[in-house]
Amino acid sequence: MDQRVFHSSMFLCLLLLITCNNIVLVPQAEARAFFVFGDSLVDNGNNNYLLTTARADAYPYGIDYPTHRATGRFSNGLNIPDIISEQIGSEPTLPYLNPALDGERLLVGANFASAGIGILNDTGIQFRLYELGARRVLVTGTGPLGCVPAELAQHSRNGECAADLQQASALFNPQLVQLVNQLNSEIGSTIFISANAFQSNMDFISNPQAYGFITSKVACCGQGRFNGIGLCTPVSNLCPNRNVYAFWDPFHPSERANRLIVETFMIGDTKYMNPMNLSTIMHLDSRT
């Protein structure tokens, strides 16, 4: 396989809420079960139970998690589903492979995400989720694939984002919005909500200082150019203050960047959320 194609595929399944297979079922007021489907951007520990090299179960992953231990999250601390749970007043969901996920805990929800799962090639899962009872489904678009430190390390000369990968995102995301609108029209209700992850990230990637970051090019944990080579391991370079780095490792945002992303999901206007943000959804559902 061509190396460039290989790396591009990795970005599609490893970066932020970057692909359309990161799907979050948002709870309604009377039934607050919260289910997550996706890749390493939203995996909260399923890969700990699988035979895979895509793991985040060792230091320094989890260094800023409340326990200061690696949990399987590809983050220095909390990831996006954790922060959404905080915002909507729910307990964090457990990985579906966690033995502690019993019937009572399922009332909270479950996380089915797994690092490295790849991209879905059809829309059938959306309808299956609806048929299973999901009444709010957040589908995130493709983020800035060409701007992650791993891409910069491999293909950027002066820290510029890879134009071809950025163009791929620009082609894909409007079509996702069209698909969401089509699905809602066919169902006759606002079930599916699209999140503009590209814009949510580009805000702080294009102007990191405005958001309190010192860089959006160099990962906190890694090695090589932009700390974008290889994996984050105990022998990697590690920044002392994760709050001033937009990227935690070569592919994944820091917890603080994740909080900025979730903020756009919660209160962002139609530039970020179509047709409405999560706060509006929660308000509407509380009245029904």
Residues 279, 265: Cα–Cα separation, whole Å: 8
Angle subtended at Cα 26 by Cα 20 and Cα 30, rounded to the nearest 5 degrees: 160
Position 166 scores a pLDDT of: 96
The whole domain housing 225 covers 3-286
Residues 56, 66: Cα–Cα separation, whole Å: 16
> Residue holding tokens 């579906």?
96
pLDDT tens column, 199-224: 999 999 999 999 999 999 999 999 99
**What is the pTM (predicted TM-score) of this model?**
0.87
pLDDT tens column, 233-251: 999 999 999 999 999 999 9
Domain count, the chain: 1
- Structure tokens that stand for 186 in this block: 């066919």
Position 103 scores a pLDDT of: 86
Residue 248 contacts residue 254 (beta carbons within 8 Å): yes
Residues 274, 208: Cα–Cα separation, whole Å: 25
Active site residues: 40, 249, 252
Q: Which residues of the chain have pLDDT under 70?
A: 1-32, 118-127, 129, 288
Q: Domain holding 90: CATH number?
A: 3.40.50
